[in-house]
Chains A and B, each alone.
Chain A
Amino acid sequence: MEIRSMHFVERVRQRLDDDELQRNLKRTRGRNAASRAAAVAAFPDFDAVRQRATEIRRSVLRDLDVWLERFEAKATERGATVLWARDGEHACELIADIAKRHGVRTVVKSKSMVSEEAGLNAALEAAGVRPVETDLGEYILQINDNEPPSHIIMPVIHKSKEQVSELFARVHGTPPKTDIEALTHEARAVLRPEFLGADMGLSGGNFLIAETGSVAIVTNEGNGRLCTTLPRVHVALTGIEKVIPTLEDLSTLLRILPRSATGQALTNYVSMLTGPKHAGDPDGPEHMYFVLVDGGRADLLGSEFEDMLRCIRCGACMNHCPVYQTVGGHAYGWVYPGPMGSVLTPLYQGLEKAKDLPHAATLCNQCGVVCPVSIPLPELMRRLREKQVECGLRPWSERLALRAWAWVAGRPKLYALASRVGVRYLRWLAGGRDRIQVMGLAPGWTAQRDFPAPAAQTFRELHAARQAAKRQGGAR
Chain B
Amino acid sequence: MRPSIAFAAIRLLESAGYTVVVPDTQTCCGQPGYNAGDRAAARALARKLIAEFESFPHVVAPSGSCAGTVKVHYAELFADDPAWRARAEALAEKTFELTQFLVDVAGVSTVPGTFSGSVTYHDCCSGLRELGVKAQPRALMDSLPGVRRVEMRDCEECCGFGGLFSVKYPDISGAIVQRKCESIRGSGAYAVALGDLGCMMNIEGRLRRSGDELTEVIHIAELLAGPAGEGG
Contacts and interface: CB of A to CB of B under 8 A. Distances in A.
Interface of A: 9, 12-13, 16, 30, 322-323, 326-327, 356, 359-366, 368-369, 379, 382, 384-389, 394, 398, 402-403, 405-406, 409-410, 412, 415, 423, 435, 437, 442-445, 447-452, 454-455, 457-459, 462-463, 466, 469
6 contacts: A16-B172, A359-B168, A405-B33, A410-B27, A415-B28, A449-B177
B108 interface: no
A287 to B, nearest CB: 48
B170 interface: yes
A394 B2 contact: no
A84 B4 CA distance: 64
A402 B39 CA distance: 11
A361 B3 CA distance: 29
Given A366-B158, A402-B32, A403-B41, A449 B202 contact: yes
A455 B1 contact: yes
A385 B173 CA distance: 19
Interface stretch (B84-92, B109-117, B139-147, B204-212): B204-212
Given A445-B166, A445-B167, A462-B3, 16 more contacts: A356-B169, A360-B168, A365-B130, A382-B35, A386-B38, A415-B28, A435-B208, A442-B167, A444-B169, A444-B170, A445-B170, A449-B177, A449-B208, A449-B209, A462-B7, A462-B232
Contact of A369 (B6, B129, B163, B204): B129
B38 to A, nearest CB: 5
B172 A406 contact: no
Nearest to A402: B38
Given A455-B2, A459-B6, A16 B175 contact: yes
A85 B121 CA distance: 52
A448 B168 contact: no
Contacts of A415: 27-28
Given A382-B37, A448-B170, A364 B125 contact: yes
A360 B175 CA distance: 13
Interface residues of B, number: 61
B170 to A, nearest CB: 4
B149 interface: no
Contact of B35 (A385, A387, A444, A469): A385
Contacts of A388: 37
Contacts of A445: 166-167, 170, 205
Given A444-B167, A457-B3, A466-B232, A394 B37 contact: yes
Contacts of B30: 406, 409
B27 A402 contact: no
Nearest to A403: B41
A306 to B, nearest CB: 15
B227 interface: no
Contacts of A322: 157-158, 160, 176
Given A369-B129, A406-B45, A455-B4, A412 B24 contact: yes
A156 to B, nearest CB: 22
B15 interface: no
B141 to A, nearest CB: 22
A469 B34 CA distance: 37
Contacts of B209: 437, 448-450
Contact of B172 (A327, A455, A466): A327
B81 interface: no
A402 B2 contact: no
Nearest to A362: B162
Contact of B44 (A13, A410, A462): A410
A184 B168 CA distance: 42
B154 interface: yes
B168 A444 contact: yes
Interface string B122-140: 0001000110000000000
Interface string B200-232: 011011101100000000000000000000011
A173 B24 CA distance: 76
A369 to B, nearest CB: 6
A394 B164 CA distance: 13
Contact of A448 (B33, B130, B163, B177): B177
B3 A448 contact: no
A368 to B, nearest CB: 8
A409 B43 CA distance: 12
A340 B169 CA distance: 19
Nearest to A462: B3
A157 B178 CA distance: 22
Contacts of B205: 435, 445, 448-452
Contact of B39 (A369, A384, A386, A455): A386
A362 B169 CA distance: 10
A364 B26 CA distance: 26
Contacts of A366: 125, 129, 156-158
A466 B26 CA distance: 17
B55 interface: no
Contacts of B41: 402-403, 405-406
Contacts of B25: 412
B58 interface: no
A459 B162 contact: no
B214 to A, nearest CB: 14
B48 interface: yes
A362 B162 CA distance: 4
A327 B202 CA distance: 19
Contact of A362 (B2, B38, B161, B175): B161
Interface string B75-88: 01000000000000
Contacts of B18: none
Sort A-B residue pairs by CB-CB distance and give the 8 closest, nearest first.
A362-B162, A448-B174, A385-B37, A449-B205, A406-B41, A444-B167, A364-B158, A459-B3
Nearest to B47: A410
A447 B172 CA distance: 11
B68 to A, nearest CB: 10
A323 B3 contact: no
Contacts of A16: 171-172, 175
Given A455-B3, A455-B4, A360 B157 contact: no
A384 B36 CA distance: 10
A38 to B, nearest CB: 16
